[in-house]
Structure 1
Amino acid sequence: MSLSVALQVAQSALSARQTETSTVSRNIAGAQEPGFSRKSVMLSTIVTNSGQSGGLRVDGIARVTDSALYNSLRMSSATGMSQQSVLDGLTKLAETVGDTALEMSPVAQLGNLKQSIQAFSSKPNDTILATDFLRTANDMAAALNDASTLVQSTRADADRDIDASVKEVNKLLAQLETLNNTIVKGTQSGQDVTDALDSRDKVLLSLSEEMGIKTLNRADGDIVVYTDGGVTLFETTAREVSFAPTPTFDASTTGAAVFVDGVPVAGPGAVMPLKSGRIHGLAQVRDDFAVTYQSQLDEIARGLITAFAEADQLGGGGPDQTGLFSYGGSPAVPAASTLVPGIASQISVNPAVDPDQGGNLDLLRNGGINGAAYDYNPTNLGGFNGRLNEFLTEIDAQRNFDGTVGLDPTDSLTGFGASSVSWLESLRKSTTSDVEVQSIIVTRTAESLSNNTGVNIDEEMTLLLDIERAYGAAAKLITAVDKMLDDLLAAAR
């Protein structure tokens, strides 16, 4: 090997070791940064025209990746966020049940109402027991009103969260576009784009938490992103994700859809619906679970109104009319087996029986809220309890409910109320279990990905020592060449 070739080898080695040292330092600095992947220097041997080794060449910087684990983490994160959003919504809905010891739920108030009727029935001329009956009836109506308000508040919260999530998606897509352009241009010009690739992976992971996605890799590091329902979300440029939040919610309100490039992907009319992600979970809460639970509350309210309705006592064929409980459609009794959306928010105690509103407390025992034809005790007997016993029978009687609310359509009022609570608690329990399992999957997958692609400080320090020794060897070679050149110059003088 000639002295010039030896010098070239030493110089290229020093340059390569300098790049390696810089890369190791970069790894150590980014070791604790989330999403940072280990970088390594790609080296190759320079071969001269005569076939001799002419030193080292730095071909670029590579990063350690594991596509299978990364894709698994992205999908499991999307599923986990969807389930967590559903659980958060169900937990809010469960406030209508609350602590069973406090007996504030609609079904608990129904039990209290039944007990107060039983007590009043044993002493139908007792004003204190009549007043207690009126109080529990008011509590019953208030419990349904409050539960309905909470359900619609939960839907409104989910709608606002969808709006926030859509804004976050658009922000992430703008970041993705910038990073993707940097990667493509950098790859084409031979620049180091590994940090940009790490940043893009973090953006994609954050994006998957908002909505489930799939990706397709193309030449020069380019990427195409689709929703997990198949709608193009990003290809060269970001697609617009739009959503119009709904200001207020009631039982008849339908929330707006989320659109990607004009295609509905969540909410009503979604033709290529999302399958995971926060938006998917929030849409389920707003449009499915909360709506179903509201319908169950509405059916309880309708059943109460029907159970306490008054019938014509004179045989004149008059229609049944609302009695103790009234609603927006009073005095007409709601149709049997037919859901009346929002009736739980309308139900109230008829003011005709409330002395504080100018009513007559005796109408609780006697009936006649709708006039003399509906009076069950025309002689005003103080010991009359027939109407009260009829209330008890109606509460426990089998009746038909709307078959679209997710419960047995044939049940007693108390049984239907208990089934509604069981439906909600069972759904919340199963979702809690799903969230716990998915959380473990996400944690384990993230750990595996970090172990495979992350930085091990001990390994980097060991590598740094190896680089230092190689650097020293190259420096010694240069020193030796320098000495030989000095000797040659001295001999030539």
Structure 2
Amino acid sequence: MTLSTTMNTANGILGNSSTQSQVVSKNISNSQTVGYVKRDAVTVVNATGGSTVKIIRAEDVVLQKQMLTGQSTAEGQATLNKGLDQLKALLGGNDYDLAPSTYISKLQTALQSYAAQPSETTLAQTAVSTAQDLANSITATSQGIAKIRVQADTDIKGGVDSLNDLLSQFMTVNEAVIKAKAAGEDPNDALDRRDKLVSDISKLVGVSKTERPNGDMALYTNEGTVLFDKIPRSITFDPRGSYGAGIAGNSVYIDGVPLKAGVGGNTSAQGSLAANLQIRDTIAPQFEQQLDETSRSLISMFSEKEKATGNNPMPGLFTWQNGTTPPAGALQPGISATFAVNPAYVKEQGGDPVRLRDGGVNGALYKWNTDNTASYSTLLNGYVAAFDTKVGFDATVGLESSATVGKYAASSVGWLEAYRSTADSANETKAALSQRATEAYQNKTGVSLDEELSKMLDIEQSYKASAKLISTVDEMLKSLLGIA
């Protein structure tokens, strides 16, 4: 090997060491940067025997796919659990102090006390007051359900806006990747930004990707709907300002295809959008229907009937906006929203609580205690007995079709708790799987400071060796020139 060849080799090694040092330094400085994928500076020998450095980005398509799926399912489950927790909060939390079933039990106790001492007007007032607490519980829960649906609708709107914005950013970065590769420039920073955007998108909707040879990438939902292909696809949603019984929410359309809502406590939702659709359109409305059935049965249970015939029921202690006794066994949508105690029993509204004992709110034909006997308890005993009598319920709302009103209200709480139990268990599992998938991906593509510092020491040794070689060649050249 000639001295000139030796010098060229040493200079080449110095240049490679410089490039490698820059890559390692960049890795170290971005060790805490979210979404940064480490680079490796690999020495490649060309056809002439010379060496160059090629910068390789530490990608892993399989692990990335697992991470994206884990993020989508975990985000969908977490969103569902948040909605279920909000529904539980309407009932007073773990002890269900504010649940209708709690106040139904209290009303039964109050009526038992009044039936045992029908001459005590203070017990009549206590019973009516307890009935008002029950009515307030039902209407407050109904209003709370409507607010939760509105909040889910608002969250869907926010998610759609975010998704549109992310896809717009994705187009810009995707074009940067294509241009960098076409020009032979380094596309790695743009690739990092693009992968970070895909990760953010996966938290809104399940996403899969396809990369083309020129670096272009297309995105699809896990159901196969196009999210991005050359340009972002249209994602539209029309929110509502309010919700009531029977009002359906609008769909989220991705490229003209409606996004499916999640299903079940261990939800099938991938991303927050599908989970919010499930809360708004499935869980909250079904809970509302169960509340409607509880309200309907209470109105019927305390309705007044003609003394002579026992027929022609009319609202008694409880009433609603319609002012009639609804038919038995058939869902009356929205009845819980206007469920209330009949003012004719409320002393503060000019009513008389003793009418619970005597009847007659709907006229003389409906008065049972015609002699105004203070010890009369026939109606009161009938109301007390009704608490232990099974009645028919609409089976389409997901609970039993025959039960006592107290048992039915408690079953509604049980239905919600069963949903939450399944969801909580699934949330723990999915969160753990997402964490493990993310850690596996980061371990493969993230920066290890120990590894990078070790590389830096190797580069330093290579630099020293090259510098020593150049110094030696320089001394030899000086000696040669001195001889000449």
TM-score bracket for the superposition, by shorter chain length = over 0.9
Give 1:291-370 correspondences, 5 Å limit: 291-315=285-309, 319-330=312-323, 332-370=324-362
Task: Report the number of matched residues.
Answer: 480
Secondary structure at 1:221 match in 2? coil
Q: Could you tell me which of 155, 162, 167 is aligned with 1:168? A: 162
| Distance (Å, rounded) in 2 between the aligned partners of 1:114 and 1:70 | 59
Asked whether 1:6 is paired with 2:6, we answer yes
**Could you say which residue in structure 1 is the equivalent of 2:126?**
132
Secondary structure at 1:210 match in 2? coil
In structure 2, relative to structure 1, the CA distance for the partners of 1:100 and 1:138 (3 Å cut) is farther
| Distance (Å, rounded) in 1 between the aligned partners of 2:451 and 2:157 | 45
Q: Tell me by how many angstroms 1:267 deviates.
A: 5.7
Asked whether 1:35 is paired with 2:47, we answer no
Gaps of 5+ in 1: none
| Distance (Å, rounded) in 2 between the aligned partners of 1:204 and 1:467 | 35
Q: Which amino acid aligns with 2:344?
A: A
| Distance (Å, rounded) in 2 between the aligned partners of 1:200 and 1:107 | 52
Secondary structure at 2:129 match in 1? helix
Give 1:31-430 correspondences, 5 Å limit: 31-48=31-48, 53=49, 55-58=50-53, 60-99=54-93, 103-266=97-260, 275-315=269-309, 319-330=312-323, 332-430=324-422
Deviations 1:279-306 (A, max 9, x none): 1111111111111111111110001001
Secondary structure at 1:219 match in 2? coil
Deviations 1:249-271 (A, max 9, x none): 22232111111122211469xxx
Secondary structure at 1:42 match in 2? strand
**Range with bigger deviation, 116-125 or 216-225:** 216-225
Q: CA RMSD in A?
A: 1.9
Secondary structure at 2:395 match in 1? coil
**Could you say which residue in structure 2 is the equivalent of 1:16?**
16
Deviations 1:134-179 (A, max 9, x none): 1011111111000111111111111111111111111211121111
Secondary structure at 2:397 match in 1? coil
| Distance (Å, rounded) in 1 between the aligned partners of 2:141 and 2:415 | 15
**Range with bigger deviation, 7-16 or 199-208:** 7-16
| Distance (Å, rounded) in 2 between the aligned partners of 1:398 and 1:218 | 66
Secondary structure at 2:417 match in 1? helix
Identity of aligned residues (%): 34
Q: Which amino acid aligns with 1:44?
A: V
Q: Which amino acid aligns with 1:319?
A: N
In structure 2, relative to structure 1, the CA distance for the partners of 1:145 and 1:489 (3 Å cut) is same
Contact 2:261 2:269 in 1 (8 A): no
Contact 1:265 1:274 in 2 (8 A): no
Contact 1:82 1:276 in 2 (8 A): yes
| Distance (Å, rounded) in 2 between the aligned partners of 1:32 and 1:357 | 67
Q: Tell me by how many angstroms 1:433 deviates.
A: 1.6
**Could you say which residue in structure 2 is the equivalent of 1:448?**
440
**Range with bigger deviation, 466-475 or 152-161:** 466-475
| Distance (Å, rounded) in 2 between the aligned partners of 1:222 and 1:246 | 37
Contact 2:330 2:394 in 1 (8 A): yes
| Distance (Å, rounded) in 2 between the aligned partners of 1:451 and 1:360 | 74
**Range with bigger deviation, 3-12 or 60-69:** 3-12
Q: Tell me by how many angstroms 1:100 deviates.
A: 6.3
* Superposed structure 1 runs of 4+ greater than 6 Å apart: none
Secondary structure at 1:220 match in 2? coil
Contact 2:77 2:269 in 1 (8 A): no
**Range with bigger deviation, 121-130 or 388-397:** 388-397
Contact 1:183 1:193 in 2 (8 A): yes
In structure 2, relative to structure 1, the CA distance for the partners of 1:282 and 1:293 (3 Å cut) is same
Secondary structure at 2:126 match in 1? helix
In structure 2, relative to structure 1, the CA distance for the partners of 1:176 and 1:99 (3 Å cut) is closer
Secondary structure at 1:340 match in 2? coil
